[in-house]
């Protein structure tokens, strides 16, 4: 099945040209209703592979498949009118060769209607990024802490402290030179994020990388307080919707047990009743 890209939405070149402008606002979304909520407030909506941990209960993002990303991408597409939609390439769908990456990205773009994909990796992925961008696939890079490399990093640690900063800087420069239109910097020290942001011609999008970046991204379920399995320091909780939802569920359960729900207003009689001029069956 193929999806039609939204030609009225922001494009990757619109985002690229926002370097040094008003900070770019990114959030994740995995479903149509959440996409509808975030669309008018965000410049970019990322269908992140964090969906594996947040919605599917996986321990890491490594078990996420291309089919899962496409299914969530299709759902998000239906909820967006304005924001640029970017879909994450999952672990194992792009690292083998530029050709494998192109086949996966082409499927994601054709089936979801997204205008760009994101992939993790710096210098090691530069050749692939050049191959894809030269063939009609706009790329958002992702360097610093790369969750798909959690086993190599030995955990979700801050990256680029001290002399290790040169490695992250080299990765960011390689991604930009290869043609990416923006790059996520995850969990790196503020001074390093500031330096990389000053050196790169493309916007840096921070997550745990300070306000020195050209924009910010958070996982929407984290900032709404719905997903609590994992609480990194860089997440600010703008609401506690998990607690509100649990209180509502507890109230429902209690009312069912007390036979207080359903009440009269939720019942159907033998004859149709007319409510506000319309018919309620």
The least distance separating ligand KIV from the CB of residue 205, rounded to whole angstroms, comes to 8
Which residue, 77 or 142, is less far from ligand KIV as judged by CB? 142
The least distance separating ligand KIV from the CB of residue 52, rounded to whole angstroms, comes to 8
Query: Is 127 part of the annotated catalytic residue set?
Result: no
Closest CA to 46 of 16, 25, 23: 25
Which residue, 189 or 208, is less far from ligand KIV as judged by CB? 208
The catalytic residue among 99, 111, 186, 246 is 186
Cβ neighbors of 61 (< 8 A, separation 6 or more) are: 49, 50, 52, 53, 90, 91, 147, 148, 150
Which residue, 157 or 273, is less far from ligand KIV as judged by CB? 157
The least distance separating ligand KIV from the CB of residue 189, rounded to whole angstroms, comes to 18
Cα separation of 253 and 259, whole Å?
10
The least distance separating ligand KIV from the CB of residue 230, rounded to whole angstroms, comes to 11
3-class SS string, 156-197: CCCCCCHHHHHHHHHHHHHHHHCCCCEEEEECCCHHHHHHHH
CB 13 within 8 A of CB 42: no
| Residues contributing to the site for ligand KIV (CB under 6 A) | 28, 46, 48-50, 88, 142, 184, 207, 217, 219
Which residue, 74 or 143, is less far from ligand KIV as judged by CB? 143
Active site residues per annotation: 186
């Amino acid at each position: 099945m193929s999806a039609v890209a939204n030609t009225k939405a922001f494009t990757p070149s619109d985002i690229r040209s926002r370097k040094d402008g008003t900070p770019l606002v990114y959030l994740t979304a995995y479903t149509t209703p959440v996409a509808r909520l975030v669309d008018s407030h965000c410049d970019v909506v990322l269908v992140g592979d964090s969906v594996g941990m947040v919605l599917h209960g996986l321990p890491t993002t490594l078990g996420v498949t291309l089919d899962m990303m496409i299914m969530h991408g299709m759902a998000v597409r239906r909820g967006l009118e304005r924001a640029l939609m970017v879909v994450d390439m999952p672990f194992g769908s792009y690292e083998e060769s530029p050709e494998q990456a192109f086949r996966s990205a082409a499927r994601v773009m054709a089936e979801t209607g997204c205008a760009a994909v994101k992939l993790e990796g710096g210098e090691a992925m530069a050749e692939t990024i050049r191959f894809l961008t030269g063939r009609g696939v706009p790329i958002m890079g992702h360097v610093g802490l790369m969750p798909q490399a959690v086993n190599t990093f030995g955990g979700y640690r801050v990256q680029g402290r001290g002399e290790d900063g040169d490695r992250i800087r080299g990765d960011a420069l390689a991604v930009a030179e290869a043609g990416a239109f923006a790059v996520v910097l995850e969990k790196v020290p503020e001074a390093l994020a500031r330096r990389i942001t000053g050196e790169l011609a493309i916007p840096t999008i921070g997550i745990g990388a300070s306000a020195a970046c050209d924009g910010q991204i958070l996982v929407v379920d984290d900032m709404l307080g719905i997903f609590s399995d994992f609480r990194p320091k860089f997440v600010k909780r703008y609401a506690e919707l998990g607690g509100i939802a649990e209180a509502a569920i507890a109230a429902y359960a209690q009312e069912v047990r007390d036979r207080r729900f359903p009440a009269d207003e939720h019942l159907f009689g033998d004859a149709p009743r007319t409510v506000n001029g319309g018919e309620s069956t």
